Structure 1
Amino acid sequence: MIAISLLSGLGFAPGLAAPLTGAGHAKIGPLSMYYEVHGAGKPLLILHGGGSTIQTTFGAVLPTFAAQRLVIAPEQQAHGHTADADRPLSFGQMADDTAALLRQLHVGKVDVLGFSNGAGVAIELSLRHPELVDRLVLGSIYFRRDAIRPELLAAFRQATPDSMPETYRTAYLDVAPNPGDLANLTPKLIDNLLTFEGWSDAQLGSITAPTMIVQAHDDVAPLEHVVAMTRAIPNAQLLALPGGHGSYLGEAMAAIPGSRLPTYATGIMLDFLNAK
């Protein structure tokens, strides 16, 4: 159960099904899982990238989404305000943690926007807990490890805790309950990536949520791979954009100063999510 003090802090009242606004922690298995709630309207779950926080992935566009939606933004195991636990990181486990959070919040079916690592979590959420997912936006995704650009895959194989970009490192240390856990984060993320075989065409074909895939020109996987993924998911749409990994969200490592790309991209995503 979520603590009574947390319910009060989020604006809960007896009989009210969903939080109004705020931040808190929920007990999810071994985790004290941090999450934020912004705005009002139909719930939109946003899932951050690997090694990131809510703010480093979505800080630039969160107000735009919250102007139209009740935005639910968790931080996964070992990320941001959520401490690590004695278990690996995997897309499936993070999806199960997220599903447990949604059930605790009693928000019903949600739209989902996942970016990068968070898009992998979003796919697993739609496969493992389809009853929780309405519409699905997958940003900067790949569905097989061998589709990752070779130079990036080689860099991932060599990654160490010291490889974390300073932007992410600073954001982590600013909010982490146990800063020493930073040493475990990169190895766990890389282990998940390097042991991930992918999703089969049959698995992708079983996704029932209306889906939009968003991919940048200079992204983790080539556009041809994402076109194939779009064809494998029933009735999926593809949005291909200029820029790099996350620039269309104004992501902290990829934001282009003065660019209107996040404004255009979020507008298109919201049009898709708001469609009848």
Structure 2
Amino acid sequence: MTMTASTAFARTVRGSGPGLLLAHGAGGGTEANYGPIMEELSARHTVVGVDYPGSGATPKADQPLEIDGLVDQLTTAADAQGLDTFAVSGYSLGGAVAIRLAARHPERVTALVLSATFAHADTRTSLAASVWHQLFESGEHTVLAQYLNLMALSEPVLNSLTPAQLHTAAEQLAANLPVGTPEQVDLVRRADVRGDLAGIAVPTLVVVTTADPLISPTLQRELAAAIPTAEVAELRSGHLPFAERPQEWAKLIGDFLARHRKH
């Protein structure tokens, strides 16, 4: 089964309270990227996420993905839950989705949290995404998983793993790569929301993953500098804060949203 523009994405809905939309990263999913902190987030919010085409239970797309199409699906999911306003948390590629959503619906977004993310892919990120795409298409999924461990884990965490642990991690990851990986990674290379940054007026937290080999901290800080309302929190993690430092990541998000909660 393939996805058409009118097909609704698979949704995750948890908790109660003010709305919080989740936008996941390329090659991930709502559960894969936010599952480790879902309990904390849903304790104080009505959490709504959608899985991009080819992730979770959403069928693979039959056409290239676009940021605006992902935004439309997230807002439709919010509407279905009766959420007029909401905060938005975007991780990696999901950060670009969150930024575009805030630019298009400023009256509905109460706060933004952008983690390990970018407004556009620099040469390094584009090259990494290109290799990621090619390895997936080649069918060398265990090699791709090894590459992703190299490009996503912080140096201390990677160096703490034994060869046997690395092998097991790669095998597990290879078996769970979303079928929509090529389309999602292709969007990483094309996404560009730099034109939306200066107009963002809602409270914004940029969580910079300072040991991130995939999305450089420099690129993350450039994004923060271009958003007038942004504050920066540094998290000593690679590209997977939900795997390396979930409790700290959840606390940064939760504390920020609590400070900017609309009663």
Tell me the TM-score range normalised by the shorter chain. 0.7 to 0.9
Give the one of 87, 99, 111 matched to 2:87.
Answer: 111
CA contact (8 A) 2:215 2:239 kept: no
CA contact (8 A) 1:147 1:221 kept: no
Aligned counterparts, 1:44-193, within 5 A? 44-146=20-122, 148-149=124-125, 152-153=128-129, 155-156=131-132, 158-161=134-137, 162=139, 163=141, 165=145, 166-167=171-172, 170-171=175-176, 182=179, 185-193=180-188
Q: Give the match for residue 230 of structure 2.
A: 236
User: Aligned pair in 2 of structure 1 residues 150, 91: CA closer, same or farther (>3 Å)?
Assistant: closer
Give the one of 236, 251, 255 matched to 1:267.
Answer: 251
CA contact (8 A) 1:31 1:77 kept: no
Question: 3-state DSSP class of the match of 2:83?
Answer: coil
C-alpha distance in 2, partners of 1:225/1:64?
28
Question: 3-state DSSP class of the match of 1:50?
Answer: coil
- Kindly provide the amino acid, as one letter, of the partner of residue 47 in structure 1: A
Question: 3-state DSSP class of the match of 1:135?
Answer: strand
C-alpha distance in 2, partners of 1:82/1:136?
25
C-alpha distance in 2, partners of 1:74/1:157?
22
C-alpha distance in 1, partners of 2:64/2:34?
25
Give the number of aligned pairs. Answer: 228
C-alpha distance in 2, partners of 1:238/1:113?
14
Shift of 1:226: 2.1
Shift of 1:63: 0.6
Unpaired runs of 5+ residues, structure 2, are 146-170
More helix by share: 2
Q: Give the match for residue 206 of structure 1.
A: 199
C-alpha distance in 2, partners of 1:99/1:208?
19
Question: 3-state DSSP class of the match of 2:25?
Answer: coil
TM-score with structure 2 setting the length: 0.77
- Kindly provide the amino acid, as one letter, of the partner of residue 269 in structure 1: I
CA contact (8 A) 1:39 1:67 kept: yes
TM-score with structure 1 setting the length: 0.73
RMSD: 2.5
- Kindly provide the amino acid, as one letter, of the partner of residue 18 in structure 2: K
Question: 3-state DSSP class of the match of 2:247?
Answer: helix
- Kindly provide the amino acid, as one letter, of the partner of residue 216 in structure 2: P
User: Percentage identity across aligned positions?
Assistant: 25
C-alpha distance in 2, partners of 1:199/1:69?
27
C-alpha distance in 1, partners of 2:14/2:181?
29
User: Aligned pair in 2 of structure 1 residues 103, 50: CA closer, same or farther (>3 Å)?
Assistant: same
